[in-house]
Chain A
């Protein structure tokens, strides 16, 4: 009994509150933006304002440094509280910075044991990264919350947007995949999701267009919902897809076949077409498939012309044909000469209660 009491006292008293920190001694960092100008990193931090009186809910600290760590330390000189990095939800990286390479940026985040590795990474397009943090956001309290909510809400439901967390990015870099990261821009004072930026290893190359972004996401199985604007003789048909599944197959020469299955439904109809007719539905299906194939082909030409394997086909090839893979010296060169074919099979399942264009129905009844 004595022994247990003594050992318990030792455990509790000798430890000396090893990791004790009051919550109000912390400055809670919500988001970090990293810019690179004049050979210096410029790091800005969005901090949740924890005073009851002020109306402004967040404060931004900025500091410069030769490397990220130095910039972080310089921010601590400004901050009255200890910086708490455990709750970062978004890290914004500027174009200049990502051209310099992601490896430089990532390491301080990996080594810090406080950081939760689940935050999102985005690129700032046509603007400085720090400006994204300063942008006003409706509804939510912080730009970081806005961005992370926006990513969560639109990921997989808007074809051109891709959510990538820090963990996933590291995984892709380790696998020597070429990552794509979503860009965000400022539009009318508000933050707005934009197209993908594609990388060669850790270095930023260029922005993709919207169609290319959709194509890249489709091939990488990042999209489930995608809306398509199909032309029809005197109007439009808007089709929205769901449950899209993509499968890649590689043969021994590195030629790839992309197979896309999925369903779609008609959302809007402004042209004169009877969709009760199965022939017409088949027509729309064919149009849908063609549009999607068009997206994919655009993405493929983008990746081939730049000789960047954006779809991690090399991994697939290595898994299936490890011996042949070892004979290839430069995969990216080799990849540029392979054939990529696609096979899209989307079926229109649901058109709601809509039978044909409403305008046409009313027209018919007047007669």
Chain B
């Protein structure tokens, strides 16, 4: 619908379509000039500064439209002539100026910053390394990446998704490193999304993962440094407006074992940390299942004196071992779920109930044996080593599957479910790359930064499975000779 020549008609039309929404402010400066903005997303200061200065101080008599457009003290000034577009601009924090007798309107950016400042990441804290994290502010997020990589090949490609939310999504990649086929593949997927609204990056992630698997195939992070290292390795990042979580594609298994902190500490110490995380991954999935298998099927594998200890502990406990373990694994998950959603003030109550009452009292009441509490504690602590929430949930589900398998078949069940588990893990694919790369398929050169981390000067190559532009740095070792 075209704009009308009369400002009164235009403004009335907008008010009518929005059912006189309470945050719409209109003002007529004279009979010939009127403007409209949303007080909820615009900054009053900016409006008075830009508009009133331009209009009131200059007070032009003739050629109103041209003079105002010229004199406006703002770098983001546009003209529009479609009445339906007006509200999109208003919602983005623009002020729209109508001038009597003109079929075009002037829009001026008067957006107010509706966000918190750049804060420390709560979800992915590190001991050493940059502390800043992404916020809900889109330009700021882009800025956080831009200030780390000052390269003209760092591209941000924008797409708007969402019928109603019109969320801005920026695809970030480094043009001469990233595999452009994969970038196009991602663009295709995004363009095909037809949805009411994208509220958070989680909405997008569902569309990016074609097959349903428990394990995350997209890295979600709040840390700009992780995004930058990923981009430099040839990965692609998606920044979603209003979401502090940035998605990185493709996410492989090994990325969840690594931490951005790994590159800020001494290499061989990091090797130990990574090994620890890998061991934790195995422990947290298998330990309760192994316990059940040993206790109820394969007692011959327990050493003499331990067996007598365990029997003594089990004495008088009315439930089967399996139920004991399963119920306490679930009790821990309840505690964790409750802890996430309780405000920090009530947090201490949870820990008292959890640690003292459930742990100690359950043992002295003779409902569970102390060893089960130890098993569950080891399992749940090992689980919390990982950053990614999806990884934690995946591990939890598999743990319960392992437990169920051993309840029925003991160690044989354990082996069967292990085979299923490994087969599943190997057959996952993200953007055409198998999940366990570079372990299988094997990229031996990449093993320098797999579990063992070599010093950075020896990591001269980017991963071959992500990029064709492999050389990352000149060979320091050779240059020295």
Contact = CB atoms under 8 A, between A and B. Distances in A.
Nearest to A12: B408
Interface in A56-90: 84, 86-87, 89
Interface in A103-148: 114, 116, 141, 145
B311 A23 contact: yes
B315 to A, nearest CB: 5
Interface of B: 295-297, 299-300, 304-305, 307-308, 310-312, 314-317, 320-321, 404-405, 407-410, 413, 416, 420
Contacts of B416: 8, 11
A13 B409 CA distance: 9
B298 to A, nearest CB: 8
Contacts, number: 74
A219 B304 CA distance: 34
A3 interface: no
Given A50-B308, A52-B312, A84 B299 contact: yes
A87 B307 contact: yes
B446 to A, nearest CB: 32
A28 B308 contact: yes
A57 to B, nearest CB: 8
Contact of B409 (A18, A21, A23): A18
B471 to A, nearest CB: 43
A139 B299 CA distance: 26
Contacts of A22: 295-296, 314, 320-321
B405 A12 contact: yes
Contacts of B317: 24
A50 B311 contact: yes
Given A15-B409, A18-B409, A50-B315, A26 B297 contact: no
Interface residues of A, number: 29
Interface string A321-351: 0000000000000000000000000000000
Contacts of B314: 22-24, 50
A11 B409 contact: yes
Nearest to B298: A19
Q: Is the interface of B mostly helix, strand, loop or mixed?
A: helix
B401 to A, nearest CB: 10
Most buried by B among A8, A22, A51, A84: A22
8 contacts: A12-B409, A16-B408, A20-B296, A23-B295, A28-B307, A84-B299, A86-B300, A145-B305
B420 to A, nearest CB: 7
A16 B408 CA distance: 7
A52 B314 CA distance: 10
Nearest to B312: A50
A144 to B, nearest CB: 9
A114 B300 contact: yes
B404 A28 contact: no
Contacts of A8: 416, 420
Nearest to A8: B420
Contacts of B312: 50-52
Given A8-B420, A12-B405, A23 B297 contact: no
Contacts of B420: 8
Contacts of A30: 304
Nearest to A51: B315
Contacts of A18: 409
Most buried by B among A13, A16, A23: A23
A17 interface: yes
Contacts of B407: 17
Q: 5 shortest A-B CB distances, which residue pairs?
A: A86-B300, A24-B314, A50-B311, A12-B408, A48-B308
A8 B413 CA distance: 10
Contacts of A141: 308
Contacts of B410: 19-20
A141 B305 CA distance: 10
B299 A26 contact: yes
Nearest to A115: B300
A20 B320 CA distance: 11
